[in-house]
Each structure stands twice: as structure tokens, then as C-alpha cells.
Chain A
Amino acid sequence: MSAAAAVPSDNILELENVQTFYGSIEALKGISIEVKHGEVVTLIGANGAGKSTTLRSINGLNHPRRGRIRFQGRDITHASPHDIVERGIAQSPEGRRLFPRMTVLENLIMGTFQRKDRNNKKAVNEDLDRVYSLFPRLSERKQQKAGTLSGGEQQMVAIGRALMAHPKLLLLDEPSMGLAPIFVDRIFEIIREINSQGTPILLVEQNALMALDVASRGYVLETGRVALADDAKKLKENEDVKKTYLGVAD
């Protein structure tokens, strides 16, 4: 894991000993993570462990002070956020971050901002239809201002907006947050569906049980460090993980 991978690998994303700071606070104390082509990887950990910071390091909003991030073999450690989006990383961020004064439709269209074929009405409409079929609720709310949607509906728009970008890698930060249990199940179905169409996903989740179900591998973060890294199945059987994150006591 620590060996420098200079040759083209089957990793689409690699973080190598990444250290990220907020001012003088060291939020990530050197973490290494990989995402392979086509897989779902999950990051779990307690509040404040550094999950969101990891995603913000990847998407360029908080550049790491030390360490390296490679996407498709290219160094993106210090690339600007818009450049990183252009290279194919899209995300549904923590707190959803919709454009509140734009309609649902306008928000979804914003997702296509950097696409080369953004002016191709047909391609964009096909993608819209795909989002509406994943979230039928949104097709009823097309013209509603995003700021007036319920929390769950906003979450759907945030995911839909990320899909509209045609990402090569999708980052999801707590997509099930604030959703009713049936919608949580639905979100995880959708994650599977998106992934089955070939998009690799890095998934941050509080709902560790479901996250480990959908992921092939997982990382457990503890105060800015990777405490455990393993196959999702093995993590689910791990006693520490069971106790701390799955709420199983036996």
C-alpha cells in the first residue's frame, strides 16, 4: 500500500499519506485510500473522524498540505476544484448544497455545467429522464425552488445533480442522511444501480451496516487516521466494528 504505484494500475483513485489541515487543526493525519475501477468503497467512522474532509481533499476544496492524490494515474493533489470536476469527479456533498433559488430542474442542469455535450438537448434529456426514473418524486417537483423542498427531496436532487455530470467517479457524503427508512433502502438500491452501470463510488455513511452491504471494501477512519481497511464482508464480521459502528453487542 505504501509502495509508489507509478505504473497504470486498476485504481481509479489513490490517496497516499494525505494530511489536510483547517488552519492549524490537522483533520487528516496521513491517510491512504484506494478506489478501483467499478467498485463501491465506503468510508465509515464517528463524527469528526475526517470523512467529509477526505472528500473535500479529493475534490480540491481543501488541498492537502502533504501527501498525494491521483485520479486515473494523474496527480490532482493541487488541482483546482473546477478542474477536478472536469476530469470526472462529481459529488453529492454533505449538507446537499443545492442552489436554493434555482428550481429542481435548473439544479439538475447545473450538474452538466462542465460536460462537453452539455448543449446536446437529447443527451441531457435522456439523463434527466434517468434521474426522474430513479427519483420519480423529482419529476413532480421540476419547477419548484430547491430551497423549498423537504430535506429528503433535496438529498435526491443532490444525488441527481451529481449523476447529471456523467462522473467517472462519484463521491457521496451521507446520502441517506435525513431520509425516511423506506427512502434509505431506496437510496442504497440506487447506489447499487448506479454502480452496476459501471460508475465507481466512494461512499461516506453513518449507516455503516447498509454501507458495508453495498460496498466491496471499506475503510474505518478514527480521528484523521485509517484505523482499519478491509473487505466489506470482513469488516462486518470484525468485533470492534460491530461494537462501535454497527451497534451489535455480542
Chain B
Amino acid sequence: MATEASRQPVSWFRGFYAAGVVPWVGRGLVVLLFVWLGVNLSKTPGDFGILLVEGVTLGLVYGLVALGYSLVYGILELINFAHGDVFMLGSWMSLYIGVQKLGLDASSSGFKVVWGLALTLVCAMAFCGLLNASIERVAYRPLRNAPRLAPLITAIGMSFILQDVGLKQLGSAPVSLPNILPTGTVFTIGGNKYGWDHLIVGLSALPVLALLVWLVQRTRQGRGMRATAQDQEAAAMMGINVNGTIWFTFMIAGALAGVAGLLYALYSTNIAYDQGFTLGLIAFTSAVLGGIGNLPGAVLGAILIGLIQQFNEGLSWHAPGSDWTQSIVFAILILILVFRPEGLLGERTPEGG
């Protein structure tokens, strides 16, 4: 009886779905979004323009983190909840090496900034790569054949542990960094300045993305990764070292988080122990928006989320504002899961993505 009653709403929903109502609600929301953007564009084109550029810049940094979620999900169907915190520790490592050890600051010579940042980048990538791969080794591999819930729980546990490490190193208040990158203006749109620091951050993400595409599409390791993602046993039968490949994938995902950690620290000049949670949520939503497991999708999703965040926080006509950013990101996550679980570029699978 009770089950009969509780089933009722589901079949109502099914009825709407069958009648094509739900997809139309989804389309309606997208149309409203464009109307809102259009009105803002006509009212304040200058703000709109700069937010567009800043959104893409930020989105590229988010994309580096989102790729880490997607790479790992693609190969293990596991959401590595600790990934955002690996990224946070990447920012911490950048602070530690770049600022505290090498003493980079606003007055450093151009030459010192270049080699200093290069060294910091290498350290952050190596640190985050090894950290992420170690997490795989100790927290996920022993549970490879356990029920799905088990690695999810250890993932959340790892996330807390890393956050506590961050708290210990960074303290509970945000830490600000000096302006290591030049802050001069590249161009202005309607009186709004776009700085060199942001341009450098955005452009730095591009070769990293290109390198990843090359790695996955063109190298032997990449072929091993793609095969392992599609069928682990079949991959083993081809002579692929499956455990090694999974370890390597975590390594790459971590290295990307390391790059993002540095770029984010340079972009915002402000880092905090809990940035892994907020940014992790954003990046994870980006990965789901693009189609989790789909690499170009993760970058596309991240750019869209970067834009949505910038527009939300910067536009003046009926924008909810930065207090609502996290709620909006979560709302987007829920809407995708309802309307298009396979994401924008993901394949529709029988299981629904």
C-alpha cells in the first residue's frame, strides 16, 4: 500500500516526460538564460565584454581541474572527491616554492620571474601528480573490487585529510600572494581593464591542454589509457599494464591540478585551505556539464561555468551576485543530471551516462 502511494509521483513525472514536458522545461530555462544575457549585453556592453574575456580565462583554469575529474572517471568510473584538495595543495606548493623559497614578488626581475615560475610549476606538477597517484595506490586500488560505495567513502575521507593538511599549512584565513605577474593593462573594453597577469594565466593553460590531447591521442601511454577506460580486462589481454596505466592516469590528473594550482594562485593572488572544495565543486560540475569522461567536454563545460560565474558576479541587470555562485553551480549540476545526464558532449549510453 505504502509503496503503491510512494510510486505515484514517479509515474506522474514519467507521464510528463513521456509527453515531452520535461525537455521543454529544460529548453525554456536555456532560452531564459539567453534572454537575460541579451538584455545585459544591450544595457552594459562594456561590462559584458570584459566578463566574457575574464570568464574564458577563469574557465581555462577550471578546465585543468575538471580534466582531472574526467580522466579519473573515464578510467575507473570513480569520482575522485580528493581532487579539488590536490589542486588546493598545488596552490600551497606554489606559494611555498615560489614565494617562500624563491622569494618571487612584485619587484622580481623578469628573468627571475620566468625561471622561478618554471621551477615552481615543475614542483607543483610533480608534487600533485605524486600525491594523486599515491592516493590511488593507498585509498582506491585496494578497493578496486569492493562495492562502488567503498571507494567513494575513502575519496571523501581523503578529501578531508588533505583539507586538514592545507589548514595546517595555510591556516584558516586566506593567504594573499604578491603580484608576481605584470599587472599592466593589455586592453580595455568599455573602460574595463584586462590585465597582463590574466592574459598570461589564460594563455599558459593552452599548451598544457594541447600536451594532454597529444598524450591521450597520440602516444602509446594514451592508447593504453583509452583502452583501459573502455575495457580493463581486454586492455590486459593486449599486454597493457592496467594497474600501471591507472596509476599513470592519476599522476597526469594530479599534474594538471598542480598547473591549475599555480595558475589559480597567480590569477586570484589569494589562496585558502578550502578553495579545493569550492573550486572542486565548480570543476566537477564542469566535467559533468561537458559529459563526464569526455575530455574536450570538460574544457567546454569549464569555460561555460567560468562564463556563468563571471556573468553572475559582474552583470548588473538581475544578476544574483557572488553570494549565489555556489547555489547556481549546484543548481546547474542538478539540472544537467535531470535533463541531460550524459552532458553536452557525452555519449548517450543505455545506463544514461
Q: Are B230 and A61 within 8 A (Cβ)?
A: no
Q: How far is the CB of A93 from chain B (nearest CB, A)?
A: 6
Is A110 a contact partner of B223 (Cβ separation < 8 A)?
Answer: yes
Please determine whether A114 and B239 come into contact, CB atoms closer than 8 angstroms: yes
> Using Cβ atoms and an 8 Å threshold, which residues of chain B touch A90?
237
A81 at the interface (CB under 8 A from B): yes
Q: Which residue of the partner chain, among B233, B240, B347, contacts A113 with CB atoms under 8 Å?
A: B240
In chain A, what residue has the closest Cβ to B241? A82
Within 8 A of A (CB), among B218-260: 220, 223-224, 226-227, 230-231, 233-234, 236-242
Asked whether B226 lies within 8 Å of A97 as measured between CB atoms, the reply is no
Interface centre among A59, A60, A97, A99 (most CB of B within 10 A): A99
- A99: which B residues are within 8 A, CB to CB? 226-227, 230-231, 234
Instruction: Find out whether the CB atom of B231 lies under 8 angstroms from the CB atom of A86.
Output: no
Can you name the residue of chain A whose Cβ is closest to the Cβ of B236? A81
Find chain A residues with CB under 8 A from B242 CB.
81-82
Q: Which chain B positions have C-beta within 8 A of A100?
A: 230-231
Most chain A beta-carbon neighbours within 10 Å: one of B224, B237, B238: B237
Contact between chains at A113 and B236 (CB < 8 Å): no
Chain B residues lying within 8 Å of A93, measured Cβ to Cβ, are: 233-234, 237
Residues in A with CB closer than 8 Å to B227 are 99, 102, 110, 113
> Smallest Cβ distance from B304 to chain A, in angstroms?
24
Distance between Cα atoms of A100 and B218 in the complex (Å): 19
Residues of A220-246 at the interface with B, using a CB-CB cut-off of 8 Å, are none
Is A80 part of the binding interface, using a Cβ–Cβ cutoff of 8 Å?
Answer: yes
The answer to whether B230 and A102 touch across the interface, beta carbons within 8 angstroms, is yes
Interface of B, helix, strand, loop or mixed by DSSP = helix
Instruction: Give the size of the chain A interface in residues (CB under 8 angstroms).
Output: 24
Q: Quick one: given A99-B231, A102-B226, A113-B224, are A61 and B236 in contact (CB under 8 Å)?
A: yes
Distance A82 CA – B231 CA, assembled complex (angstroms): 14
Asked, given contacts A99-B226, A99-B227, whether A114 binds B237 with beta carbons under 8 Å apart, the answer is: no
Are B230 and A85 closer than 8 Å at their CB atoms?
no
Cα of A90 to Cα of B238 in the assembled complex, Å? 8
Q: Which residue of A lies closest to B234 (CB)?
A: A97
Return chain A residues, CB-CB under 8 Å to B239: 82, 85-86, 113-114, 165
Q: Answer yes or no: A101 CB below 8 A from chain B CBs.
A: yes
Q: For A86, list chain B residues within 8 Å (CB).
A: 239
Closest Cβ of chain B to A221, distance in Å, is 22
Contacts of B226 in A (CB 8 A): 99, 101-102
Closest Cβ of chain B: how far from A56's Cβ, in Å? 9
**When each residue 40-83 of chain A gets 1 if its CB lies under 8 Å from chain B and 0 otherwise, what string results?**
00000000000000000001110000000000000000001110
Contacts of B231 in A (CB 8 A): 97-100
Q: A109-120 CB contact bits vs B (8 Å, 1 = yes)?
A: 011011000100
Q: How far is the CA of A248 from the CA of B227 in the complex (A)?
A: 44
CB contact between A91 and one of B223, B230, B237 (< 8 Å): that residue: B237
Known: A99-B227, A110-B223, A113-B220. A85 touches B234 (CB 8 A): no
Q: Give me the interface of B with A, judged by CB distance under 8 Å.
A: 220, 223-224, 226-227, 230-231, 233-234, 236-242, 347
Known: A91-B237, A97-B233, A110-B227. 16 other contacts (CB 8 A): A59-B237, A80-B241, A82-B240, A82-B241, A85-B236, A86-B239, A90-B237, A93-B234, A93-B237, A98-B234, A99-B230, A100-B230, A100-B231, A101-B347, A113-B227, A165-B239
Interchain Cβ contacts under 8 Å between A and B, 28 examples: A60-B236, A61-B233, A61-B236, A80-B236, A81-B236, A81-B237, A82-B236, A82-B240, A82-B241, A82-B242, A85-B238, A91-B237, A93-B233, A93-B234, A97-B233, A98-B231, A99-B226, A99-B227, A100-B230, A101-B226, A101-B230, A110-B223, A110-B227, A111-B238, A113-B220, A113-B238, A113-B240, A114-B240
3 nearest A-B residue pairs (beta carbon): A114-B239, A85-B239, A81-B236
